[in-house]
Chain A
């Protein structure tokens, strides 16, 4: 059984479009995250939700809007896509927001904006 799953795995789209990436975890965790990994493999945290409440919002353009309908899901919607949004986006979850807890990562969504 997949612990943290993301869909789609690949997303190719034109500049200006709006797209969503979905994430689900079946670990019973309270906290979920979105990360962006650029072409140089640098992972950068974007958002974190704990029990459906936003607790981390790291100076991400407001074109990016996370939504957590319940503890097991954290979706990422991106408006007006730009070339610089091309990256791999990872979802992760942990049992709670304390930093000691291991984060379990999904397989990633490779977004390519043309």
Chain B
């Protein structure tokens, strides 16, 4: 069964600090992995997408990594800002049209 597990479930950090969110998956075959950011009361917005051959991709202060051998991905946020407070969702797509969503990590950045 295809699954995506994210950790931690929630995280509180101080503004300016770095943090790393984890995503482990069992989706097979693997096509791509995407990280979304969802602000409270809004729809998710894509941050990065990686395919099998990519092991890192950056979008500003967000850097995603992918280890397709161990089926793990991480999202690193550098120099966090209050606006980074959101839910971060890992989504893995395989051989079908149907993506598998993780349950998300809720990040709170305190001043």
Q: What residues make up the interface of A, taking CB atoms closer than 8 Å to B?
A: 4, 40-45, 48, 55-56, 58, 90, 92, 97, 99-100, 102-103, 105-108
Contact = CB atoms under 8 A, between A and B. Distances in A.
A43 B44 contact: yes
- Category for how many chain B residues contact A: 20 to 34
A99 B101 contact: no
Contacts, number: 52
Chief secondary structure at chain A's binding surface: loop
Given A92-B43, A100-B93, 4 more contacts: A41-B38, A55-B97, A56-B98, A102-B49
A107 B38 CA distance: 10
B40 to A, nearest CB: 10
Given A56-B97, A99-B93, A100-B49, A105 B44 contact: yes
Given A41-B87, A41-B104, A99 B44 contact: no
A8 B20 CA distance: 36
A107 B43 contact: yes
Closest 9 A-B residue pairs measured CB to CB? A105-B43, A99-B93, A102-B46, A43-B101, A42-B103, A105-B44, A97-B97, A90-B43, A99-B31
A52 B106 CA distance: 35
A89 to B, nearest CB: 11
A17 to B, nearest CB: 24
Nearest to A50: B97
Nearest to B40: A41
A103 to B, nearest CB: 7
Contacts of A42: 101, 103-104
Contacts of A108: 41-43
Given A105-B44, A108-B42, A41 B49 contact: no
